[in-house]
A = this chain, B = another copy of it.
Amino acid sequence: MMELVEAHESFGGVQEVWRTKSLTLDCDTTIGVYTPPLAKIGQKCPVVFWLSGLTCTEQNFITKAGAQKAASELGLIIVAPDTSPRGEHVPNDDAYDMGQGAGFYLNATQEPWVRNYRMYDYIVNELPALVESHFDAASAVRCISGHSMGGHGALMIALKNPGLFRSASAFSPIVAPSKVPWGQKAFTSYLGDDLSLWAEYDTVELIRAGLNPSLPMLIDQGTRDDFLEEQLQTQRLAEVVGDRPIEIRMQEGYDHSYYFIASFIEDHLKWHAEQMKKPQA
């Protein structure tokens, strides 16, 4: 059962928010869906999945990123899920960087998180199937992007699932969660002490291990981002790029906010649209 929570005309298309029961997360969850005008005339559209950062719901991206204009022009659907399971029965934590609002796009192996905290499976399996059955989505023409914790999710999930996404991009991503305080705190609580399990959710480690070597990746990172030095450490990604098709752009003066995302989201959507047009091997 899909329940329509909001619908707003936007750049000739429509920005909706849907609520549905997720079997994977074992809770109700919300999903922002922008459908471009092309879909109104029956055309199936490529899908951009957007993963948001710590503390966010689907609202942050759909109200602040200004992505609808470019999505309208390029004929892209944008799917923006919540960042974690939610609800009174879902375990939580008082900290902003644990529990609800901080799912880290992984499958938890430690209690009390095991039952609900399965954002990895949700994004990889349940969400794409739901999108392709309920919206005017082209079959299997997908890309993924995200911000901060969601940048970690986008890059990591695309690396681990060759063929699922044609391209992956990120704004201010946590590229090496195993090495930084946000990631170490979350991974310890959700995954326990097994560092080999941490490596399975760590973009830098996945690249080092050679996964999905032809995946096109685009990363934008602001030079005035307060989290750059301690939590993001973009240079750790730069060090392992090798000859992969990965572009990392340091954007002078930009910070960690949605003002940064808004300034470059059109670039990212155009880039993804190009990647999704390329013939598949």
Contact = CB atoms under 8 A, between A and B. Distances in A.
Interface of A: 8-12, 15, 63-64, 66, 68-69, 222, 224, 251, 253-255, 257-260, 262-263, 266
A222 B10 CA distance: 11
A96 to B, nearest CB: 19
A83 to B, nearest CB: 18
Given A9-B222, A9-B254, A259 B68 contact: yes
Contact of A260 (B8, B259, B260): B8
7 contacts: A8-B254, A8-B257, A9-B263, A10-B259, A63-B63, A68-B259, A69-B266
Given A9-B253, A9-B254, A64-B64, 15 more contacts: A8-B259, A8-B260, A9-B222, A9-B255, A9-B260, A10-B260, A10-B263, A11-B263, A12-B263, A15-B259, A63-B258, A66-B66, A68-B259, A68-B263, A69-B263
A224 to B, nearest CB: 7
Nearest to A72: B263
A37 B160 CA distance: 40
A11 B266 CA distance: 11
Specify the main secondary structure of chain A where it touches its partner.
mixed
Nearest to A253: B9
A119 to B, nearest CB: 26
Contacts of A8: 254-255, 257, 259-260
Most buried by B among A9, A64, A257: A9
Nearest to A13: B263
Contact of A259 (B9, B255, B263): B9
A259 B259 CA distance: 17
A8 B263 CA distance: 11
A255 to B, nearest CB: 6
Contact of A262 (B66, B257, B259, B266): B66
Contacts of A66: 66, 69, 262
